[in-house]
Amino acid sequence: MANRRNDNTETVSFNAEEFRQANIRQILHHVQEALDERGYNSINQLAGYLISNDPAYISSNKNARSIIQSVDRTEIIEELVRFYLKESK
């Protein structure tokens, strides 16, 4: 994310896009864990949510429903497509 130096004399750069992508990945992993914990198929449930925008597909376990709604659904879809295309090269 940011380039960090120990001497406090260098300017630190911050990349908001990298931060946003890392945040989405963290949210997806959290929601996956919450769904798996409850015995749901996390891929099916996440796909249902992303296709329909119906939060009922996401369990409230570990506050997963509220957490996934904190990010715009289209941003999650964009990140998934970006990751898939990058990995499939």
Residue 7 has pLDDT above 80, yes or no: no
Helix ranges (H only) for 1-89 are 16-37, 42-52, 64-68, 73-87
Spell out the residues 6+ positions from residue 19 whose beta carbon is closer than 8 angstroms to its own.
Answer: 1
φ, ψ dihedrals at 22, nearest 5°: -65, -40
Q: What pLDDT is attached to residue 13?
A: 82
What's the CA gap between 11 and 29, in Å, rounded? 32
What's the CA gap between 63 and 61, in Å, rounded? 5
| Cα 63 off chain centre by | 14
Residue 4 has pLDDT above 60, yes or no: no
- Rounded to two decimals, the pTM is 0.81
Task: For 40-87, write each residue's pLDDT tens digit.
Answer: 999 999 999 999 999 999 999 999 999 999 999 999 999 999 999 998
Task: For 17-39, write each residue's pLDDT tens digit.
Answer: 899 999 999 999 999 999 999 99
